[in-house]
Structure formats: C-alpha cells, structure tokens
Copies of this chain bind each other. A is one copy, B any other.
C-alpha cells in the first residue's frame, strides 16, 4: 500500500509536468511591455513577497493645496497585479481635503474607513450623483465617468478605492488642462473659461 502513492504521484504529476502553465505573471518592469502589460518575471524567482504590497502602511501626510495624499497600488508599484485586472489606491483627506475631479479607464468602488466624505460622479447627461458617505459606506463610480471625493467632516478621512484594471489611469482634469504643455489658447477654446482664469489656473498647476 505504501508504494502506491509514490507510483501515483509519479504518473499523475509526470503527465502534467510538461504542460503546466503560469497562473500569474508578476511584471518584470525591466523588460519591454506590451499593450496588455509587462512581461512576466521568471516564475522560479517569484515568492510570496511578490504578492504583498506594504506601501499603504502607516500615516500619510496630506500637505498639498488639496490637502490630500493618494497612494497607488497599481501595477508599476505592485507588479504582481500584472494581467490580473484589479488595483487599489489609498486616499487620505486632511480636514478640507479634496481629491480633485478626475477619471479612469475603469469603474471604481470606494470604502470609507475613517471620517466623512462627500463623493460623487457626473454622467454624460450632466447629472451629478453625489452623497455624504460615513464610515463603512461603499460607493460605485461607473466606468470612465468624472468623479471626486471631498472631506466633509472636521477630522481627517481615509478611504480605499479599487479599480478593475491593474493600470486604470488617473486623469486629473484640471491638471491635464493647466498643468502640462497644452497651450493656454487651446485650453481657453475647449473649456470656454476666461483668458484670465486660464492664466491663473496655469500659474497654480503648471510645473515650476
């Protein structure tokens, strides 16, 4: 009876041995990437540590003008997500803190862990769906819609958001319009903002 298992492991595992594929593809950021993500790290070098991300530990400083701190566990910071279609971000909002209006290629779901947050999105009919969220509340922002989060309370707020791509993109609307190389004249034409306001915004958002 004792040698049966050995036989059995031998034959069943042997037949599977040459056809066992990868169940994950931890990204190797040093190799060229394709449209669907990074090439896979050699699986013989993958350990449990690859599947754990510790960048959300501890307190986060919310010292910006928007009094926020965004920490992204997207594929570049957490290469084990490569190809798995999901990611996470930590949002810290100081008192008065704001995550400015932005969008992703994906849907987003938020869970509030501390504080009180007004969150919402606008759809293509310009209807805003927004609500005050308490600790434990969950809100869904449909795919690609403009959305935002604002600390509505008198204490810091903390939330986690999950997005259904490992590379969902974060396009901050006003940063895109005023914080890069888009000429002021075009920014004005495509927003209908006043020249004066466009210049003020560029003063704030443009890279020094």
Contacts and interface: CB of A to CB of B under 8 A. Distances in A.
A172 B81 CA distance: 24
Contact of A23 (B7, B19, B68, B123): B123
Contact of A192 (B88, B121, B174, B194): B174
A40 to B, nearest CB: 5
Task: Specify how many copies of this chain sit in the oligomer.
Answer: 6
A140 B78 contact: yes
Given A15-B70, A120-B186, A173-B146, A64 B138 contact: no
Given A12-B70, A88-B138, 12 more contacts: A5-B205, A16-B72, A19-B77, A21-B74, A25-B34, A36-B36, A54-B138, A57-B135, A87-B109, A100-B190, A105-B105, A124-B176
6 contacts: A6-B208, A11-B69, A12-B65, A51-B129, A88-B162, A105-B105
